[in-house]
Amino acid sequence: MSVSNHENRKSRSSSGSMNIQLFHKTSHADSLLIQLNLLRKRHVFTDVVLRAGHRAFPCHRAVLASCSRYFEAMFGGGLKESRDAEVNFHDSLHPEVLELLLDYAYSARVIINEENAESLLEAGDMLQFHDIRDAAAEFLEKNLHQSNCLGMMLLSDAHQCQRLYELSWRMCLANFANLYHTEDFLSLPKDKVQELVFSEELEVEDESIVYEAVIDWVRADIGRRHLDLPDLLRCVRLALLPETYLSKRNVAAFPNASSKNSIRFMLVVLPMARPVPFFAHCSTETAYGFASLGCLQILRLFF
């Protein structure tokens, strides 16, 4: 009788079924991570060094690849990086943020606070530590307020954090009257300014607020933005503004605007624009904007 047959017979109960016991130590995963982290700190069995700024972090490729698709692709893709002993992020990643990511990889824990949440979100997205990115986004959602909603809108849009984007977007629309004169608004890219002022969900009491926002944004960097003025004014319900208001505001906003090619461009384009009905941002009737001769006459006051 072979040893294997003898062992098989011994393992069977009288009923003929296999007598099996599953042993599962729930703390094994934590113990394994603790030991791997100790090995990392002692530089034992480490096979790659990550560099950021002036700091170096010896690590285990297997641990990094298990936590991040970015590193999995880097080390397993057969490219040059898969054979390099070092990966240098230079200044694209702050060393303290990389250290936090590595601490998470080796412990499944990370402390998120107001000082590091945005950096962790960006680094988590960059290195595909998606759990970190999502946890940082959730933290920022809970700490979203009027003073940071514009910045959170840009951050979440850049890193595909849909819920954070929707929450910050709605907060921007609801608080537009208090935001348009802030530095965050004046530094927005043109496309975001257009999206905000064109939105039917924009909450303002008077269309003059939208007009003021557009003018102030252009004036903040008039040398570069004056050509954007026609596109932005198309988003303003000009027909809802009194002619006296427009004439006074234009003189105050652009006292030397006669040399601005963008204004001349407007006077060429606007008469050719088809009259398209639109609803005001505030509660008013449907109006026609660009077909109004009164609006065009007021725009000539820019000269």
The mean pLDDT value for 140-164 works out to 98
Place of tokens 């700190």: 41
3-class secondary structure, 18 = strand
- The CB density around residue 291, as the number of other CB atoms within 10 Å, is 14
Could you give the CA distance from residue 5 to residue 50 in angstroms, rounded to a whole number? 52
Q: Which two tokens stand for residue 63?
A: 């641990």
Helix axes 130-142, 117-126, angle to 10 degrees: 150
- The CB density around residue 58, as the number of other CB atoms within 10 Å, is 18
Provide the whole-model pTM.
Answer: 0.78
Selected residue with higher pLDDT from 275 and 64:
64
Residue range 231-282, pLDDT digits in tens: 998 898 877 777 777 666 664 555 445 434 444 444 444 433 334 444 456 5
For 5, 9, 12, 18, 178, the CA distances from 1, given in Å and listed in that order, are 7, 11, 16, 20, 88
Could you give the CA distance from residue 210 to residue 241 in angstroms, rounded to a whole number? 10
For 41, 84, 232, 274, the CA distances from 288, given in Å and listed in that order, are 69, 64, 17, 10
Query: Nearest 10 degrees: CA dihedral of 248, 254, 259, 261?
Result: -90
Closest CA to 233 of 259, 254, 210: 210
Place of tokens 């294997």: 4
- The CB density around residue 258, as the number of other CB atoms within 10 Å, is 10
The ranges assigned to domains in the chain are 206-303
Could you give the CA distance from residue 69 to residue 131 in angstroms, rounded to a whole number? 12
Selected residue with higher pLDDT from 8 and 48:
48
Could you give the CA distance from residue 202 to residue 211 in angstroms, rounded to a whole number? 13
Could you give the CA distance from residue 73 to residue 77 in angstroms, rounded to a whole number? 5
Residue range 202-222, pLDDT digits in tens: 999 999 999 999 999 999 999
Select, from the ranges 20-24, 53-57, 292-296, the one with the highest average predicted confidence (pLDDT): 53-57
In this model, does residue 117 exceed pLDDT 80? yes
